[in-house]
């Protein structure tokens, strides 16, 4: 049964009554549709945020792991050889500044959908190469 059929059935159908009915329907629509709209915004926000979160998480994890590897290797090397190798000590200090989260998760490395551009991160790659050089120098096997 359509809305008008329903109201015709209940209230009859002469035009004066119809105007009142339509006003009532508009009021009803306004009231319930607004409530639904608000619930829809609040409810879906959580779902959409969670879906986005799950999509971003693995890339963040991968970058965090790579940065951690670099920092751990440089920290270990600096601990062992930093007192006699000034360049190494400086590199370690620079890496701890440059590889902070705020520099790695920077918009310049991502496209508008927060995907890594060409699946490559310039800054992380730069430090991977620097660390690789020190690992070769101090005979550290890395895979």
Partner 1 sequence: MDFEENLLKLEEHFYQEGFEEGQNENLHNNFMEGKQFGLQVGFQRYVLLGQIVGLCDILDSLDLQNIMLTKNIASVRKLIDGIEMNNDEKNVEQLEKTLVKLKNKFRTILLSFQRLTKDRKLKKHLNFDDVDDLSRMIGGKMQTFVEDEDVSEAKTTQDQMHEW
Query: Binding to partner 1 (CB under 8 A): which residues in 10-69?
Result: 10, 25, 28-29, 31-45, 48-69
- Judge whether 124 and 99 are in contact, CB under 8 Å: yes
User: Tokens 């920290």 sit at which residue?
Assistant: 75
Closer residue to partner 1 (CB): 19 or 79: 79
Q: Which of 12, 93, 101, 137 binds partner 1 (CB under 8 A)?
A: 101
Q: Give the number of other CB atoms < 10 A from CB of residue 127.
A: 24
Q: Which of 70, 88, 121, 127 binds partner 1 (CB under 8 A)?
A: 70
Closer residue to partner 1 (CB): 23 or 35: 35
* Alpha carbons 65 and 72: distance in angstroms, whole number: 10
- Judge whether 120 and 83 are in contact, CB under 8 Å: no
The token pair that represents 45 in the structure block = 């926000």
Q: Which of 77, 88, 91, 121 binds partner 1 (CB under 8 A)?
A: 77
Nearest CA among 78, 103, 73 for reference residue 89: 78
- Judge whether 140 and 73 are in contact, CB under 8 Å: yes
Min dist. Cβ of residue 16 to partner 1 (A) = 20
Min dist. Cβ of residue 62 to partner 1 (A) = 6
Min dist. Cβ of residue 14 to partner 1 (A) = 19
- Judge whether 99 and 127 are in contact, CB under 8 Å: yes
Closer residue to partner 1 (CB): 24 or 87: 24
Q: Which of 4, 13, 19, 106 binds partner 1 (CB under 8 A)?
A: 106
């Amino acid at each position: 049964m359509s809305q008008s059929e329903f109201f015709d059935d209940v209230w009859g159908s002469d035009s004066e009554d119809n105007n009142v009915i339509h006003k009532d329907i508009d009021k009803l629509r306004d009231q319930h549709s607004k409530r639904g709209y608000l619930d829809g915004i609040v409810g879906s926000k959580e779902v959409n945020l969670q879906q986005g979160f799950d999509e971003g998480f693995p890339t963040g994890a991968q970058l965090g792991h790579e940065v951690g590897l670099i920092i751990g290797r440089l920290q270990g090397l600096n601990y062992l050889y930093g007192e006699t190798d000034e360049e190494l000590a400086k590199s370690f200090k620079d890496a701890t500044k440059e590889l902070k989260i705020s520099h790695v998760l920077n918009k310049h490395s991502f496209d508008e959908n927060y995907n890594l551009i060409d699946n490559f991160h310039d800054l992380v790659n730069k430090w991977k190469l620097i660390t690789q050089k020190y690992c070769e120098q101090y005979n550290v096997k890395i895979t």
